[in-house]
Structure 1
Amino acid sequence: MYEQVLRRYLNTPSENSFPDQTFTTVYVLDSVRSDAGDPTGDTLAGRPLPSDVKVRITAALGPTAAVTFISDKASVLDTTDGCATVRDGGILITLGTIDGDDDQVTVGINGYVACLGATWLTYVVHDQPGTGWNVTGTTGPMAIA
């Protein structure tokens, strides 16, 4: 399911707020946080992403982006010019927990590129017979910095 969320986020400029940029370097925090979709969040401890989920994400995005899982956000940030930017022209993503039931869930996401380049939102994902889990839209507030 996270594969579909990441694919939707990275390929939808109106949601990731970077219409002129295709990210080929993607850093993903290796733990999910319940407050990922909240711009005032990032205070709750995360739960580790299982290894098999990381493998599926890497394989699903592999044709278009190099995905690296990290445990420390600071490890991919360059603060040389005072504004923390993601190195290698990449994006740093924090995934939210999966909340819902067997038919519909929500998943928060935060994408960070620089101090004035970040988005927070929550996706709605449905389990559709015959096709599996698909992102069908967003819910709640969306924030852009």
Structure 2
Amino acid sequence: MKNVQAKTYFEIHYESEISDRSWYRIKRALRESGLEITRENLQLIADLKRRTVYTKLSLKQLIYCHYSALQIANKRVLVKGDVVYRELQKLSSNKAHRTTIIRWFQSVPKKEGKYFDKNRDYKAEELVPVFAAACLYVQKKLSQKLPLSK
């Protein structure tokens, strides 16, 4: 895929134009994350950037969180809600409040009027955005704890 075509494809999925400087940063983040410039990856990056527009995390951190979530979610086919909840607590080192964890489930389709139910069986692919949100939470907390220089 040529550079101009790739940028245009990204802008269509991002639903906004970007500067050449931003485009080169995106390409560098893809390369540094070990990803090629393909339609699927560009669509993924556009979606990540659109969903996390107010996050102060770098694109590289967003990509890392997404792929970490994929690895976690792919370990099982069906998972009980209470097991997922405990895993999310472990992932956040018991720092995330119960309300925060339940909010991460808003990307999961509702069942019986609820996003989260401890007795529900969740499909692994439903949990990818949930674990990605948890990973983003952890990354954000880590970046806030960086020591200030003297």
TM-score range, shorter chain: under 0.3
Larger % of strand: which? 1
Q: TM-score, normalised by structure 1?
A: 0.26
Structure of higher CA gyration radius: 2
Larger % of helix: which? 2
